[in-house]
Amino acid sequence: MKKQKVALIAAISENRVLGKDNKLVWHLPADWENFKQVTAGKPFIMGRTSYESEDMLFSDSFNIVLTRQTNYSLPGKNKTAGSLAAAMEMLAAESEVFILGGGIVFEQSLALANYLYLTIVHQEFEGDSFFPEVDWSEWELVKSLRHEVDERHAHAFSLNEYRRM
């Protein structure tokens, strides 16, 4: 059987900031367009805090929201899971799974990932949620597309794809 693709996908600053006050600290339409293209049709796993963020992007397949609350209700075919292992078990038959964060969930799931889709925003920001430190010796950069500042984007950024070696 082909190995399941487990990808973390995030936009992070040069100092690994993910967000502040449960919001993103940048607005990058081309990053969202790329996100939609990369994740189309794939199921997502996300933390409950990120799920409640006004910036959250949802799967057009279905979403699993991690929470330890037992009475947390979700609309539609979205589901909750009480642990990362339970969420992965629910998605065991899927060929690809995308983990969307935030910081608490990335910290736990980096070890499971075999792909990273990281948008690196080429600036330092203040934030209160961070992507974990990555041991880059374990990863190879397979794709990188740099986007410069333009009328829609106040910051330069790179759309990077890494595969675990």
- Interface residues with ligand NAP (CB under 6 A) are 10-11, 18-20, 22-24, 47-50, 53, 55, 66-69, 82-84, 100-105, 108, 129
Residue 64 C-beta: closest distance to ligand NAP, Å: 10
Strands 17-19, 44-47: parallel, antiparallel or unpaired by DSSP? unpaired
The Cα 63–Cα 45 span in angstroms is 6
Residue with smaller CB distance to ligand NAP, 104 or 156: 104
Residue 28 C-beta: closest distance to ligand NAP, Å: 10
Contact in structure between 123 and 28 (CB atoms under 8 Å): no
The Cα 18–Cα 104 span in angstroms is 11
- Rounded to 5 degrees, φ, ψ at 72 are -80, 120
Residue with smaller CB distance to ligand NAP, 26 or 165: 26
Residue with smaller CB distance to ligand NAP, 69 or 95: 69
The Cα 88–Cα 136 span in angstroms is 24
Residue 20 C-beta: closest distance to ligand NAP, Å: 6
Alpha carbon of 29 to those of 8, 23, 35, 153: distances in Å? 19, 15, 10, 7
Residue with smaller CB distance to ligand NAP, 91 or 105: 105
Residue 114 C-beta: closest distance to ligand NAP, Å: 19
Residue with smaller CB distance to ligand NAP, 51 or 165: 51
Contacts of 12 (CB under 8 A, 6+ apart): 18, 118, 119, 120, 121, 131
Residue 155 C-beta: closest distance to ligand NAP, Å: 13
